[in-house]
Amino acid sequence: MINTWVSRITSGLPQYGLWAASGSSYITEICAGSGADWLLVDQEHVPNDVRSVLSQLQTLAAYPDVEVVVRPPAGDAVYIKQLLDIGVQNLIIPMVDTPEQAAHVVAATRYPPRGIRGVGSALARASRWNRVPDYLATADDGLSVTVQVESVEGLANLSQIASVDGVDAVFIGPADLAASLGRLGQPEHADVVNRIEGALAEIVAQGKPAGVNAFNRQIAERYLAAGATFVLVGADVALVARGAEAVVSQYKGAQ
């Protein structure tokens, strides 16, 4: 098992990604051909289930230059097990507030005795239904775990979270962090941006890659300067919504 995502986010070269939130393999494939370095296939806030994620993984297999990261709805061991069994190698786990939660997430991705992942490789796409002869021995090394810190509590525990063995990277979520800071709906508020810049620097100081989403290019550049190496710069559904609005407004505005 080979994991190229971690090597890319530790290479020193920024990795620009798109949020794949539509739940559609068709739209996800369009994004895969955009030149993006990575795609975040989301389950937390969108109607993506295990079957639709599987369909997108199968589609994205034709785009080996695009890294695929999947975010389950929670750091639940059952969700994680199902995603790993269908072939997900890179996970971003939302709402991690403590090092204990981070350690639990890591354990959910490892087979015993290192963790608690259930053994079902004979049924799993990840092992090619046991056609990969050493899958059980090598699976742990082919996975990556990124934890998402997005609360005041998480910021207070950031160094400890980042230092948990098995946590490969830390991603800051501006929207929920803004809400936790009393700035609901204001992820670009100066107070929020300043806290995120400090958090990114703290993650890097712990020797871990740092990520964040920023659809505003100027803010994205600030986060890159603060140490982020992987950044989400757009979302498929937002691009469609804003593009559709822009086209229609050209005609309605001319009436």
Provide the residue ranges of all domains of the chain, joining segments of one domain with +. Answer: 4-252
Strands 228-235 and 210-213, bridge-based pairing: parallel
pLDDT 10s digits, 87-103: 999 999 999 999 999 99
DSSP state, residue 173 = -
First to last CA, the chain: 59
- Intervals of the chain under pLDDT 70: 1, 254-255
Question: What pLDDT is attached to residue 253?
Answer: 74
Find residue 91's DSSP bridge partners: 70, 145
Question: What pLDDT is attached to residue 254?
Answer: 64
CB 46 within 8 A of CB 15: no
pTM comes to 0.95
Q: For residue 45, indicate whether it is catalytic.
A: yes
Question: What pLDDT is attached to residue 30?
Answer: 98
Q: Which of 45, 114, 128, 242 is catalytic?
A: 45
pLDDT 10s digits, 128-174: 999 999 999 999 999 999 999 999 999 999 999 999 999 999 999 99
Q: 4-252 falls under which CATH superfamily?
A: Phosphoenolpyruvate-binding domains (3.20.20.60)
